[in-house]
């Protein structure tokens, strides 16, 4: 409980006896992160509490036949760190009580309960037909109870023996819009059976997406004997509602009601399912694509409630839910010869829009051989640094190249800035000269015949071949040149060992 608290909102229902609905419980979870010292167990830092939801959903009170509730809904409430309890109380509906003209209850007369309003648990339906009592005619054909929990007395008068021509009307009522859909007028003698059926009209309206609430025209209806008030019978309907979403999809544009092809159509798929992407581009500093994009997709869905009569979406502001909370991190790949501006692209929180991130690569620098005066050595190789195989933003130590006729004391280079070149000083290797021997006359008393004059220049022009002794002289000269170069070595380079010379 230091890092998680489970709370709930409970809606209790009471008063409807064995019809009382079960409690409605909504759960919420509060969490936070703690940082704990692994040695002492001490809490180092405490994060803020966060709930997995901001509000509990609104709870509609169920309609319980024969009872009315004291509230139609329990509104959406803000989630707190405390449990919330709300009680909805039901009371029995009142009834229609037939009485004679003096206000006395008519013995053995039916006293029907009010009919519940199917859309509002706190109300009963208006225009409720009064019961028929043989030998009596009600003063009113219907009643609209002002107080759903109290009885309504209805006066009845005795029927006169003389049969008169009477009128009746059957009205088909849309309770959702509180409007009449159709009506039929009927005539006949008082006390005679009304020859009429509501079946065809009911089927026609059901085919258009209506739902029958109550057929107020009884099969054994008869004309009354009240010349002042016409009989009225109500057949009540409401609009049907169906869900459409990822768990119950329908083909967009097709009729909602198969028997009503010109009626309302199913909504487009993107009304309840949308896809968004998170794209990482890999380009060079000129915007050229270096490799395929990394694309991740999130799908956002919701469930809509559709009016089967009109096709209207009843909850256009229904919340969207993604199939994932965050995109995955993208590890930036190593591309040979380039270094990137970032090593990793953190996985962003999914949003209802496309996200884009660009990783920019630039060319890696190189080793540039130069002479002691800083001039580039013509035709010398200029190798790029080696990529760090584990980090696309870095390069690793790189060996210096061999340059024919030149030598350097720098074995390798560790660049400080991956995109900048590193000049490395090389010195030219001079070819050692072997001294030419000049013939001398031996100090001898005897006379030595000199070589022919034309051969002497020939002997002087030829350079003797280098043997083992001359190789030692060459090494000495090279060592002197290298020693002079060592003073030019700067930061980020490694000198050769003496044995390499």
pLDDT digits (tens, 9 = 90+) for 60-93: 999 999 999 999 999 999 999 999 999 999 999 9
Whether residue 463 sits in one domain with residue 399: yes
Question: Would you say residue 152 lies in a domain?
Answer: yes
Same domain, 45 and 66: yes
Q: In this predicted structure, what is the pLDDT of residue 160?
A: 67
| Domain-located, residue 246 | no
pTM exceeding 0.75? no
> Does residue 279 belong to any structural domain of this protein?
yes
Q: 295 and 388, same structural domain?
A: no
Q: Are residues 328 and 440 in the same domain?
A: no
C-alpha torsion angle, residues 120, 124, 125, 126 (rounded to 10): -120
CATH number at residue 144: 3.10.20.470
Q: Which residue has the tokens 């079960």?
A: 22
Task: Determine the pLDDT at residue 433.
Answer: 57
The residue from 43, 62, 91 where one domain ends is 91
What's residue 203's pLDDT? 97
Same-domain check for residues 115 and 76: no
Position 435 scores a pLDDT of 54
Of the candidates 489, 366, 370, 383, the residue with the CA atom closest to the CA atom of residue 428: 370
Q: Report in angstroms the alpha-carbon separations of 161 from 120, 145, 158, 164.
A: 43, 32, 9, 9
Boundaries of domain holding 292: 269-305+313-362
Q: How many domains does the chain have?
A: 4
Amino acid 481: pLDDT:
31
Interval 175-199 mean pLDDT: 95
Tokens of 164: 């008169």
The CATH code of the domain that includes 33 is 2.60.40.4300
- Indicate whether 198 pLDDT > 80: yes
Average pLDDT of the residues in 98-104 = 94
pLDDT of residue 162: 65
Highest mean pLDDT among 101-105, 157-161, 427-431: 101-105
Residue among 320, 323, 272 nearest 297 (CA): 323
Q: What pLDDT, on the 0 to 100 scale, is given for residue 476?
A: 33
In this structure, the answer to whether residues 292 and 375 fall within a common structural domain is no
Does one domain contain both 376 and 465?
Answer: yes
For residue 81, tell me if it sits in a domain: yes
DSSP secondary structure string for all residues of 53-110:
-SBPPPEEPPP-TTEEES-SEE---B--SS-EEEEEEEEE--BEEEE-TTSPBPTT--
- What does the pLDDT look like over 400-417, one tens digit per residue? 999 999 999 999 999 989
| Same domain as 375, residue 338 | no
Residues 466 and 383 placed together within one structural domain of the fold: yes
Give a yes or no: residue 264 inside a domain. Answer: no
Whether 335 and 370 map to the same domain: the answer is no
Instruction: Read off the pLDDT of each residue in 37-41 and give the average, rounded to a whole number.
Output: 92
Question: Do 51 and 86 sit in the same domain of this protein?
Answer: yes
Question: What gap in Å lies between CA 97 and CA 131, rounded to an integer?
Answer: 9
Count of C-beta atoms within a 10 Å radius of residue 46: 12
pLDDT category of residue 397 using cuts at 50, 70 and 90:
very high
Whether 69 and 138 share a structural domain: no
Q: Is residue 255 part of a domain?
A: no
């Amino acid at each position: 409980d230091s890092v998680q608290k489970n709370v709930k909102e409970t809606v209790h229902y009471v008063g409807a006896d064995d019809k009382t609905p079960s409690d409605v419980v909504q759960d919420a979870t509060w969490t936070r992160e703690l940082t704990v010292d692994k040695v002492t167990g001490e809490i180092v830092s405490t994060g803020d509490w966060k709930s997995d939801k901001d509000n509990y959903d609104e709870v509609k009170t169920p309609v319980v036949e024969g009872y009315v509730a004291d509230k139609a809904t329990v509104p959406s409430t803000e989630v707190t760190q405390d449990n919330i309890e709300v009680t909805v109380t039901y009371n029995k509906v009142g009834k229609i009580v037939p009485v004679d003209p003096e206000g006395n209850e008519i013995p053995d007369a039916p006293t029907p309960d009010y009919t519940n309003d199917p859309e509002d648990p706190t109300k009963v339906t208006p225009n409720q037909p009064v019961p028929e009592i043989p030998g009596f005619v009600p003063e009113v054909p219907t009643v609209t109870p002002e107080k759903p929990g109290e009885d309504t007395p209805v006066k009845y008068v005795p029927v006169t023996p003389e049969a008169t021509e009477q009128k009746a009307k059957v009205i088909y009522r849309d309770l959702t819009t509180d409007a009449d859909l159709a009506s039929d007028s009927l005539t006949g003698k008082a006390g005679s059976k009304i020859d009429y059926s509501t079946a065809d009209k009911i089927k026609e309206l059901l085919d258009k997406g209506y739902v029958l609430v109550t057929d107020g025209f009884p099969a054994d209806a008869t004309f009354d004997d009240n010349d002042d008030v016409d009989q009225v019978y109500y057949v009540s309907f409401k609009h049907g509602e169906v869900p459409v979403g990822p768990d119950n999809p329908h083909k967009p544009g097709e009729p909602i009601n198969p028997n009503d092809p010109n009626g309302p159509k199913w909504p487009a798929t993107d009304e309840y399912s949308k896809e968004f992407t998170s794209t990482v581009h890999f380009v060079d500093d000129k915007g050229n694509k270096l490799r395929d994009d990394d694309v991740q997709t999130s799908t956002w869905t919701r469930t809509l409630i559709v009016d089967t009569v009109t096709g209207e979406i009843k909850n256009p502001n229904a919340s969207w839910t993604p199939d994932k909370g965050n995109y995955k991190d993208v590890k930036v790949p190593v591309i040979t010869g380039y270094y990137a501006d970032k090593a990793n692209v953190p996985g962003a929180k999914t949003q209802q829009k496309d996200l884009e991130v660009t990783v920019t690569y630039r060319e890696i620098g190189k080793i540039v051989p130069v002479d002691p005066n800083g001039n580039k050595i013509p035709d010398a190789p200029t190798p790029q640094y080696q990529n760090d195989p584990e980090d696309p933003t870095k390069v690793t130590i790189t060996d210096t190249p061999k340059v024919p006729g030149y030598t350097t004391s720098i074995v390798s280079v560790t660049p400080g800035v991956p995109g900048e070149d590193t000049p490395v000083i090389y010195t030219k290797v001079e070819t050692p000269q072997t001294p030419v021997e000049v013939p001398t006359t031996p100090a001898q008393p005897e006379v030595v015949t000199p070589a022919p004059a034309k051969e002497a220049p020939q002997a002087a022009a030829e350079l003797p071949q280098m043997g083992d002794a001359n190789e030692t002289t060459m090494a000495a000269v090279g060592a002197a040149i290298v020693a002079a170069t060592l003073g030019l070595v700067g930061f980020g380079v490694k000198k050769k060992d003496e044995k390499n010379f």
